[in-house]
Amino acid sequence: MVSVLPALVVVSAGWARPAALRAAGSPTARLTGARSTCLDPRQLAPCHRRASLAADGSDGVADALVRARAALSALRVPELRQRLEERDASWADLFEKRELVDRLAALVVDGDAPAAPAAAPAAGTDMLVRARAEVGGLRVAELRQRLADRGIGWADLFEKEELVERLAGAIASELRFCARSVVPLGTAANLGEEEARRELADGSTPLLLDVYAKWCGPCQVMAPALAQVAAELRGRVRVVKVDSDAATALASELRVQALPTLIAFRRGAPVHRAEGALSAQAIRRICDEHLLSPETRNT
Catalytic annotation present for 216: yes
Report the DSSP pairing between strands 207-212 and 238-243.
parallel
User: Does residue 16 come out as left (phi exceeding 0), alpha (psi in the -120 to 50 range) or beta?
Assistant: beta
From 38, 47, 178, 219, active-site residue: 219
H helices within 73-189, ranges in order? Answer: 77-86, 97-109, 122-135, 140-149, 160-179
**How many CA atoms does the CB half-sphere of 297 hold within 13 Å?**
11
Determine the residue type at 36. Answer: S
Cα-based distances in Å from 249 to 38, 143, 242, 245, 254: 69, 46, 11, 9, 9
Report the DSSP pairing between strands 207-212 and 188-190.
unpaired
* Active site amino acids: 216, 219
